[in-house]
């Protein structure tokens, strides 16, 4: 579901995937996602607006907007959080990546 966070079944560098695909497009076997990286493991500065921090179970994770990708639906594990309430910040990050503002 859109703006739900799922465990990543394959990549330990990105333990979570944020689903950003519209729920109206649910017949595909893929989902458009943004990976999250543990804030403590990110070694370089990132633009805050492009890469906002989301708290997952009390720990900070960076939304790696510039690494969004389409992945097989089967890659999405257990749903762990609903970030619908942070939709505006997430969409602003996507808009910055695509439109530059």
Helices and strands in the chain: count of H runs, count of E runs: 1, 7
The model's pLDDT over 24-55, given as tens digits with 9 standing for 90+, comes to 998 999 999 999 999 999 989 999 999 999 99
Give Cβ neighbours of residue 1 (< 8 Å, ≥ 6 apart): 19, 23, 79, 82
CB 6, CB 78: distance < 8 Å: yes
Residue 58: the pLDDT is 96
pTM for this one? Answer: 0.95
Residue 11: the pLDDT is 76
Helices (H), 38-86: none
Domain boundaries, the chain: 4-99
User: Quick one: average pLDDT of 14-26?
Assistant: 96
CB 33, CB 17: distance < 8 Å: yes
The model's pLDDT over 63-90, given as tens digits with 9 standing for 90+, comes to 999 999 999 999 999 999 999 999 999 9
Class of domain 4-99: mainly beta
């Amino acid at each position: 579901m859109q703006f739900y966070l799922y465990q990543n079944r394959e990549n330990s560098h990105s333990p979570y995937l944020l689903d950003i695909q519209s729920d109206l497009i649910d017949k595909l076997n893929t989902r458009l996602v943004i990976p999250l990286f543990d804030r403590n493991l990110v070694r370089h500065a990132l633009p805050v607006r492009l890469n906002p921090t989301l708290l997952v179970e009390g720990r900070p994770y960076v939304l790696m907007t510039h690494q969004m990708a389409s992945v097989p639906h089967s890659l999405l594990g257990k749903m762990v959080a609903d970030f619908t309430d942070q939709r505006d910040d997430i969409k602003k990050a996507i808009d910055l990546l695509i439109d530059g503002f």
